[in-house]
């Protein structure tokens, strides 16, 4: 176990799996869930050992997988006013530094995918970027700002005496008007802060600046309709990726749409690894060149 000291002074535990020359940063919890939590995740269709499965899959394929529970850390140590692309980048680089990775690839899913995109724009240390569940073009920044503002308003209201909380969780197949919320005011406000910081983000200008190998994928059925209580928007990840597929490919992205999968299904190791591993392997020469000492 390695500890990384993040930009706010907090300490994040990190696990390293494998001894390959090419490092891949994975912002996932490498510790499998157990007991009641594991059963709850299975009911949602989530592998309780998702992070461990991804890390071991990469290690078995010859990569050095650096796994760390970044989202869980932020929920335990929320940053209501300070979760921004700059602070996230500082944290991810701190993890790389703590594990001795001068150059590294990155894979993230959903908001952790957009975090990887912001990282790629702020450092020349990234050798490859893989984004799952969030499109590099047509990203739902405005929609997610409305959703996170709604979640924050409900969490703030729930903190007041005599009110009832409604909570955030994976929405696929569920009625959002009846889902109860457990996140606190501070936990929800940090994501409002993040999406507010990205309101004017220019995706096309950003894409033109990237030079490392790039992969993006999503389930073709990754479409989430949110009711009026959650901002009354539809977050259509699969549709956005399909619409931008040609433009992304022309800009150098490898694009994969996973037929029939929704947001939760497309993040499971059984679907991620068959996409991620061949792509990383094909890019391995570039990754190895990035860490090989000059002659």
Domains present along the chain, CATH in parentheses: 2-139+201-226+233-290 (3.40.50.1820)
Question: How many other β-carbons are positioned within 10 Å of the β-carbon of residue 105?
Answer: 31
Which pLDDT band, with edges at 50, 70 and 90, does 284 fall under? confident
Is the pLDDT score of 167 beyond 70?
no
Quick: pLDDT tens for 116-155.
Answer: 999 999 999 999 999 999 999 999 999 999 999 999 999 9
Across the range 40-57, mean pLDDT stands at 92
- The model carries a pTM of 0.90
pLDDT of 176? 40
Residues near 258 by beta carbon (within 8 Å), at least 6 away in sequence: 217, 218, 219, 220, 265, 266, 271, 275
Distances (CA, A) of 280 to 12, 108, 117, 263, 288: 26, 14, 17, 22, 11
Across the range 178-187, mean pLDDT stands at 73
Name residue 25's beta-bridge partners.
66, 106
Across the range 259-281, mean pLDDT stands at 97
Residue 80: exposure state from Cβ atoms within 10 A (0-12, 13-18, ≥19):
middle
Task: Of 58-67, 122-131, 183-192, 226-235, give the lowest mean pLDDT range.
Answer: 226-235
CA 265 to chain centre: 15
- Asked if 67 contacts 73 with a C-beta cutoff of 8 angstroms, the reply is no
């Amino acid at each position: 176990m390695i500890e990384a000291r993040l930009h706010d002074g907090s300490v994040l535990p990190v696990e390293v799996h494998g001894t390959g020359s090419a490092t891949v940063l994975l912002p996932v919890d490498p510790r499998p869930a157990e007991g009641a939590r594991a059963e709850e995740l299975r009911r949602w269709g989530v592998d309780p050992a998702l992070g461990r499965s991804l890390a071991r899959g990469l290690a078995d394929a010859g990569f050095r997988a650096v796994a760390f529970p970044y989202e869980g850390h932020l929920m335990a140590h929320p940053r209501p006013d300070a979760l921004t692309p700059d602070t996230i980048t500082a944290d991810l680089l701190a993890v790389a530094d703590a594990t001795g990775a001068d150059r590294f690839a990155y894979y993230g899913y959903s908001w952790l995918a957009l975090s990887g995109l912001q990282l790629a724009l702020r450092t020349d240390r990234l050798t490859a970027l893989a984004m799952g569940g969030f499109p590099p073009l047509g990203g739902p920044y405005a929609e997610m700002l409305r959703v996170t503002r709604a979640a924050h308003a409900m969490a703030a209201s729930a903190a007041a005496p005599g009110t009832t909380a409604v909570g955030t969780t994976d929405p696929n197949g569920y009625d959002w008007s009846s889902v109860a919320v457990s996140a606190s005011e501070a936990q929800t406000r940090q994501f409002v802060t993040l999406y507010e910081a990205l309101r004017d983000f220019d995706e096309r200008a950003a894409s033109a600046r990237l030079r490392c190998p790039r992969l993006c994928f999503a389930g073709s059925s990754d479409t989430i309709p949110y009711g009026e209580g959650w901002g009354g928007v539809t977050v259509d990840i699969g549709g956005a990726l399909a619409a931008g597929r040609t433009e992304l490919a022309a800009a150098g992205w490898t694009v994969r749409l996973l037929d029939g999968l929704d947001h939760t299904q497309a993040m499971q190791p059984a679907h991620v690894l068959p996409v991620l591993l061949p792509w990383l392997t094909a890019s391995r020469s570039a990754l190895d060149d990035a860490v090989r000492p000059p002659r």
